Each structure stands twice: as C-alpha cells, then as structure tokens.
Amino acid sequence: MDEILEILSNDARITAEEIAKLTQKSVDTVKKTIKKYEKNGTIIKYKTIINADLVRDSNSFVRAIIEVSVSPQKDAGFDHIAKRIYSFPEVTSCYLLSGAYDLLLVVEGENLQTVSNFIASKLSPMAHVRSTSTHFLLKKYKEDGQILKKKPQGKRLNISY
C-alpha cells in the first residue's frame, strides 16, 4: 500500500504538510496524490471510530448479525438482491460469502423490537430471501483493527541507555 494511504488509514486528520515531512515528499505531491485517491474512489470517506458503548445508552441500542440465504437471480446473480437489502439504512454492513449461507448483514436498531420488526416485516418476506438466522451482538471487543479499550499506560522507564 502507498505510504500516504498507510498513514491516512491510521489517522485521517493528519495534514498534507505533516505527511510530507513523514514521507519526504513535497506538500504538493502529497495533496495531488490524495486528490487522485479521492477522485478514483480509493479513499471513500474519512470517518471516526467511536466506542458506541461509551456514548449511547446501551439499553436503547442493539446490533444483530444476520445470516441470509437467498436465491440468485438469472443474469444479476446476487448483486440485485444484495442491493435491495443493503439499501435499507438499518443495514450497516453487507457481505457476500462462500459457505452455508450467502449474505452476512450487520443490522442496527434502537431496541430488540425495531430490529425484529425489520427482519420480520422487511427482510424475511422479501422475494428471493429463503431464510435468515439472527444473532444479537452482546459485546464489541475490537472493530476495524481497533481494540475498543483505552490503551494501558506505557510501562517503559522514562530514561535508559
């Protein structure tokens, strides 16, 4: 991976000037490269990883992982049905998988009721959806490569040879 992307993937707020210092490239080159990545869709979005447990009342927020078996359609394969499903805002992630089922969804809602309602009234009855299997998520330990816990203080001495 390009070093600029590597740096940005770890800190989206770092300035082009700083990246230039870290990579020994000119500020102009860094800016142009980032523009190029934004334009061609390599960089999709800059977002913040938030530990939701700390900001939301966990009683009013639930998340479910749903395995979905679907019947692929002639010519469109899985893409068409996947689009119908992932377009719901309740669906925060959607993956096509090999194995026992086809689509893996992450669905978020305010409570058990809203998520159940979405499954019962929107997802399951949908044409081409053959079956669903829902797992409610109990605790998040790690997300997108980040351990969702405050890092422990460094244990090094402040000075050594």
Give the residue with the Cβ less far from other proteins, 8 or 106: 8
Least distance in Å: CB of 152 to other proteins? Answer: 9
What is each CA distance from 80 to 99, 100, 103, 118, in whole angstroms?
A: 20, 20, 12, 19
Which helix (H) or strand (E) covers residue 131, if one does?
Answer: strand 129-136
Give the residue with the Cβ less far from other proteins, 45 or 142: 142
Least distance in Å: CB of 32 to other proteins? Answer: 20
Instruction: Concatenate the DSSP letters of all residues of 44-81 into one string.
Output: --------HHHHS-GGG-EEEEEEEEE--BTTTBTHHH
Least distance in Å: CB of 41 to other proteins? Answer: 25
How many C-beta atoms lie closer than 10 Å to residue 18's C-beta? 14
Give the residue with the Cβ less far from other proteins, 46 or 161: 161
Residue with tokens 């395995």: 67
Give the residue with the Cβ less far from other proteins, 29 or 134: 29
Could you list the residues that contact other proteins (CB under 8 A)?
3, 6-7, 21-24, 154, 156-161
Least distance in Å: CB of 29 to other proteins? Answer: 14
Task: Give me the sign of the Cα torsion angle 21, 26, 27, 32.
Answer: negative
